[in-house]
Amino acid sequence: MLQHLRCARMCGALDGMQQNDALTFPDAPRGELDRVLSELVSVAGDVLATQGRLRALLRASQAITQQLELPLVLRKIVEVAVELVGAEYGALGVVDAHGGLEQFIHVGMTKEDAEKIGRLPEGHGLLGALIDDPRPIRLLDISTDPRSSGFPPEHPAMDTFLGVPVRVRNEVYGNLYLSNRKVGEFTADDEELMTALAATAGIAIDNARLFAETKRRQAWSAASAEITAAFVSDEDNDAAVLIASAVLTLAEAALVRIALPSQDPTRLIISVARGIGEDVEEGRSFPVIGSLVETVLESRQPRLIGEPEATAIAGGNTHQVGPTMAVPMLAHGDVLGVMIVSRLPGGFPFTATDMEMAADFAGRATVAMALSDGRADRQRMVLLEDRGRIARDLHDHVIQQLFGTGLELQSVLGTIVPGPAAERIDRAISEIDKAIAQIRVAIFTLSSGKSSKEDTLRHRVIDVVNEASRSLSESPRLEFSGPVDIAVSGTLADDVVAVVREALTNVVKHASASTVSVSVAVADGAVVVTTVDDGVGLTMSGRRSGLANLDSRADARGGSFDIGTIDGKTNAVWSAPYGTAGA
């Protein structure tokens, strides 16, 4: 009721004022009211603008945290920062361990503009100032700041600037750079917004890194299981090749080398290489002393190696490499070798986590490799035992039976008159003698396994013949006669092996033979190597050039070499005296 009365009175008063044109508000109170109303409108506008920016910050934070792939997270941070404060250009520089920029993700410039500029910033000038002192920097004009080092010739013009650090777990991960605000200069509110965004970005980056690390660990573990399964399988797998191939993919590397000890204890040899230049790297040796690998072998600890040192890690390879890690390959406390993993020049450096995962993988793979080698040794022992049993059976039963048969035939031969029957029996006795000689070679091959000592001449010749048999339709027949291993040694043994290899090589390349026989005999102070094949025979244009080496070896020894074809059989006879100086 009172409110209605008051309203009626006020309405009546207003009607009276309208009727009386002389009634007006004083100028002073009216101006104060206008000012207050204007301030209220301005404050309300600021509140609405702040509310809008906070909502934009919330949307930006949500957009950043939705990503899990680190490259996408980094680019998204720059994109939402540029949009949030209305900047023309934005960038995120990731700080490396040496205080430079490891990555530089930029937004605003076209691909063509970036290509014209060339190499991306390395963290000098104003960017370096923010790295050295990670506190926000806000400038009206970049060019007037004494810390600015200028821009490359093709770089777009930039004036206003805002930079804030991005922290991950209290460590500066990188810096967020913004320039050329589209309207006016960067404000304190912009700085606060970017600082808040940088905090959210740090969390998103940390999550993305943890996610990526988890995926990498899973990949390394899966590969380790596959390698172990491959080693313990019955298949004949090359352990070093499997390890190098797996690490090349897992570490996103350009080149993986596995260096193992050589016969020279002062040098390592790259047994396997996978990646760029693998053909050049594989088989190359380098000295251990004075190399960067030496510290890895001595400490038995993996090591990260920067790009300047990486090229010289394995004796100045022909291909330049970038960031590298060297990982010892340990099994049961012993260092079996070193795995050298490299990326391309200018590539992302390996992290401590990368090195840890590679070292763990190398350790697991090396143990599996050692177990596989142990199993292979046991299988070889079983094989050698079987071969020994077969050799004893051949010696104790087969040879004795053949020898007895030969004696019986010999006795029969003495009771019959000369003639065709006697000749047939005599040929049979000769064939039995040859069979006994061949069986004795087989017995020697079966009963004499490899040892750590230097191989005998018989072993070396058998290896050469076995190697040549892969290229022949039928394995060559091999005979030894006389004290071959006792009489022939040193450089003369080397020559005999070389002669057998050269003679068989000529047969394989030029003779097109079906059957080949090799004989190494020691008698009358000389060693004689004879090869017989049923090939196309000797031609002046073809095989003669390949036999010059046999002639020169015989002449150097004071021996002889003769070759000829009779009745479809090509006989090559090489001889040299033994027991002379230098033999």
Task: Parse the chain into domains and list their residue ranges.
Answer: 51-213, 453-583
Read off the pTM: 0.50
For 426-432, the CB contacts below 8 A with 24+ separation are 432/402, 432/405, 432/406
d(C-alpha 28, C-alpha 31), whole Å: 5
Q: Rounded to whole angstroms, what are the CA distances from 70 to 194, 203, 208, 218, 236?
A: 20, 12, 5, 17, 40
Q: Which amino acid is at 127?
A: L
Q: Assign domain 51-213 to its CATH superfamily.
A: GAF domain (3.30.450.40)
In the DSSP assignment, the letter for residue 142 is G
Please, how many CA atoms are within 13 Å of residue 75, restricted to the half-sphere of its CB?
7
CA angle, 212 as apex, 209 and 216 as ends, to 5°? 135
Q: Rounded to whole angstroms, what are the CA distances from 211 to 9, 465, 516, 523?
A: 74, 58, 65, 77
DSSP 423-438: HHHHHHHHHHHHHHHH
d(C-alpha 137, C-alpha 129), whole Å: 9
Q: Which two tokens stand for residue 464?
A: 């050469």
User: How far, rounded to the nearest angstrom, does the alpha carbon of residue 223 sit from its chain's CA centroid?
Assistant: 14
Burial of 193 (0-12, 13-18, 19+ CB in 10 A): buried
pLDDT values of the chain reduced to their tens digit, one per residue, 583 residues:
334 434 444 445 445 544 455 555 555 566 666 666 666 666 655 555 555 566 666 666 666 666 667 788 888 888 888 888 888 999 888 877 666 677 788 888 877 777 777 666 766 777 777 878 888 888 888 888 888 777 777 788 888 999 888 888 778 888 888 999 988 888 888 888 888 888 887 888 788 778 877 888 888 888 777 777 776 665 666 777 888 888 898 888 889 998 888 877 788 888 888 988 888 888 888 888 877 788 888 888 888 887 767 666 655 555 678 888 988 888 777 778 888 999 888 777 888 888 888 888 888 777 777 776 677 677 777 776 776 777 777 766 776 777 677 777 777 777 787 888 888 888 888 787 777 777 766 766 666 555 444 567 888 888 788 778 777 878 788 888 888 888 888 889 888 988 988 888 888 888 788 888 899 999 888 999 999 988 887 765 544 555 778 888 888 889 999 988 888 888 899 999 987 544 5
d(C-alpha 457, C-alpha 493), whole Å: 6
Q: Answer whether CATH 3.30.565.10 is correct for domain 453-583.
A: yes
Helix (H) or strand (E) holding 458: helix 457-469
Q: Which residue has the tokens 């490799």?
A: 369
Is the separation of the CB atoms in 520 and 461 below 8 Å?
yes
